[in-house]
Structures are given as structure tokens and as C-alpha cells.
Amino acid sequence: MLRALLLENLHPDATEILTAAGIEVINHGGAMDEDELIEALQGVQILGIRSKTHVTARVVANAPDLIAVGAFCIGTNQIDLEAAADRGVAVFNAPFSNTRSVVEIAIADIISLTRRQSEFDKSMHDGVWNKSAVGAHEVRGRTLGIIGYGNIGTQLSVLAENLGMSVVFYDTAEKLALGNARRMSSLDELLQTADVVTLHVDGRPGNAGFFGTRELDRMKRGAILLNLSRGFVVDVEALRDRIQSGHISGAAIDVFPTEPKKRGDTFESPLRGLSNVILTPHTGGSTEEAQEAIGNFVANKLRDYLSTGSTTLSVNLPNLALEKTTGVRRVAHLHRNTPGVLAAVNSTLSAHDTNIEGQLLATRGGLGYVVTDIGADVSPVMVDALRGMDQTVRLRVMD
């Protein structure tokens, strides 16, 4: 029986889907460090994580039974994708399932900060009646600057316009503007234009420290900053200084350079205790609706990969959309993408009197993935021959 290790309190639907597919599921509430994970992955074929557990090259190298990893979140920067691909470990994520949840918390943060709700709330809890309109504004008519105009940025753009905001955006890639949103020619132009700046960039290494002293100083005086993307993107020390000086009037931060491993752990940050600053514990996508959608989406991708070999939306392997086998057996051959591999695979099948019922091939960078349905049982000799090819990364045989 295949075994799955699910970490970080994944939605129960993930367990139900994998269990229904005949997979034994082991649930563990928190994240694991490198050594813990290596030990726990012995004899385990499927790993499910969120953002706290890091699947390093060392983890992959010491988990010989691992076939697939499911990132039950948007980002995959916590996984060494190249190391996983080199060992034939497929990685799947949920790039769209929590988009709406992140957009809604961004809208809530924008309104709350613009109206200085966190300050009024604290005063009331301290027993102080501080009724005042000073520094509180409507969001209607103000300009929202979106940095990173992807799935989240575009949906936020539409909703913000519906609230009466003007929207400008900046993205290094060419993106189609939605509604009346305007593309800025440079990051500086956006920072000098926007009353509210919100970051929605991905986790690529080049974005580390992307938003620091220079960018903060170019923001309009009294502007607001949101970071719901990655913790390493913003220089939080510099942000603290600009909030204390009044250059930045407020901030909402959901992600941090260093985050506790599990619920209940102590949280430390230079941003704690600052006025008109909303801090949330990486919950931008953590609604019950989003977690259910993510649990279903990623678990189904893992199940389909194990049962059919389908790699649709895998972030590190060639993508093939596959249904159930059309033959007696299905042979999935992940290999180094060099000339002549397909011919060698078919020659091996032919040499063992194996008829091909159907075949698909996809490539991605240095990897190729050929899936062949055959009309006979698979002989151990033929499996050994395919597995023994110099280009073979991983060979799987399915019913």
C-alpha cells in the first residue's frame, strides 16, 4: 500500500480523497525540520505540506521512496524543484484556489488602514473614547498601486475599482490591464502615484529584499503599504523606521522573514506595537473555503498522478493530461531529454513483443516524459531494460 505523510494541518478532504484511493495517510499537525522530515519520509511515497516545511535537496536525496509532493498553498519556493525533478519527484501546488481569500483580506486591510480602524479599536479596548475624523479617509477616489499583476493582483484590481478606487499596476511581464487599470512604466512611477501600495510578487530568489529603503522612501508621504506575498520581500526594519517617522501612515503585513513553526509559538517582529499596523499570522489565504478548495485540488492532482501518471499543472515535470489507461498496462518513463530516447523506449518494447496501444510525449527543459499504454503484461526483463537506460530518471508501471 502507498503511504502519504500530510503535515501542517491540511484540510480533512485531502485525507479523505487519498484514503479513498487506497493510500494510507499519516497526519502530523505541525511542520518538520530537515532531519525530522528525512526520518518521517522513509517508506513514504507522497508528501503534503504548506509553507512552513522546507523540502530541500538533502531531503529529496534521502527519501528514496518519495514519488510526489503536494504544496497545499500557492507558493513552491519552500521546495527545491530542480532537485525533486532530478530524482523524478513530481510537485503540485494550488495556484488559484485561495485567490479570492487573499483579495478579500487585502480589501479589508485597505479600508481598515485608511479609516485607522486598528487605532480606534485599541483606544476603545483601553477605555479611551477618541472620536475623530483626523487621518481617516474614504477609499473612494484614492489610488491603489498593485505590484505584481497576476491572479491575485488582477482580481484585486477589479474589486478595488468597484469601490471607487483608481488602480495602477506594475509588473515586469507584459500584462493586459483589466477595467480602467493603468500600467505604470516603472516601479518609481507607481510609488509616486499610489496612496496604497500592495505587493503580490512570487517567491523567486530575485525578489528577496526587493522592497527596501529606496522603495519606501519613494512612496508618497502618508501612503499605506500591504505585503501579502512573501516575507523576505520587504525590509521590515526600514518599514518600522518609516512608520515611526510618519512617512508611511500604516501597513498590513501577513508574511514575515522568519515565522514560527506552529500555532501557539512566540512571534517576534520589529513591527509589533506600532500604530496603525495590522499584523496577521500568514492567514491571507486561510479561510475555510480556500483551505477546502486547496485540499481538494492538490489531493486530486496527487491521486491522478499516482493512478494515471497525469502531470497536468505539475510545476517541475513535463505536463501531460492523461485519463485511465487504454491498454493492459501503462508505462511512464521520465528521462533526460536527449535525442533518441523515444526510439530507444519503443525499440525496447518491440524487442519484448509488446504492442503499443497509445503513447504521449512531453518535454520540459532537460526532462522528457513519455507515457505508453501497452496491450500486454509487463515483463520484469523489459522493466529492467527501460530502467537501465542511461537517460532514465524514474520508471513507473500502472494498471
Of 253-267, 302-316, 357-371, the one with minimum mean pLDDT is 253-267
The single residue listed with the C-alpha cell 512573501 is 230
Measured CA to CA in angstroms, residue 137 lies from 133, 134, 243 at distances of 8, 8, 18
How far apart are the two ends of the chain, measured CA to CA in Å? Answer: 15
Domains of the chain: 1-98+288-317 (3.40.50.720), 99-279 (3.40.50.720), 318-399 (3.30.70.260)
Measured CA to CA in angstroms, residue 368 lies from 99, 178, 338 at distances of 31, 37, 8
- State the Cα–Cα distance between residues 136 and 131, nearest whole angstrom: 11
Helix axes 117-125, 99-114, angle to 10 degrees: 70
Q: Give 329-354 pLDDT, tens digit per residue.
A: 999 999 999 999 999 999 999 999 89
Give the DSSP H or E segment for 303: helix 288-308
Active site residue 39: no
Compute φ and ψ for 201, nearest 5 degrees.
-100, 165
**For the chain, what percent of residues have pLDDT higher than 90?**
89
Active site residue 333: no
Measured CA to CA in angstroms, residue 176 lies from 181, 376, 395 at distances of 9, 50, 41
289's grid cell: 473555503
- The predicted model gives 190-214 an average pLDDT of 93
**Which pLDDT band, with edges at 50, 70 and 90, does 197 fall under?**
very high
230, 303, 330, 333: the catalytic one is 230
Angle at alpha carbon of residue 49, lines to 48 and 54, rounded to 5°: 125
- The predicted model gives 204-209 an average pLDDT of 86
- The predicted model gives 70-78 an average pLDDT of 92
Active site residue 272: no
- Residue 272, pLDDT > 90, answer yes
pLDDT at residue number 375: 86
* Three-state secondary-structure class, residue 24: strand
- Pairing type for strands 356-364 and 367-374 reads antiparallel
CB atoms within 10 A of CB 271: 18
Burial class (CB in 10 A: 0-12, 13-18, 19+), 351: exposed
115, 116, 282, 330: the catalytic one is 282
Q: Give 38-73 pLDDT, tens digit per residue.
A: 999 999 999 999 988 999 999 999 999 999 999 999
What value does the mean pLDDT of the chain take? 95
259, 336, 357, 394: the catalytic one is 259
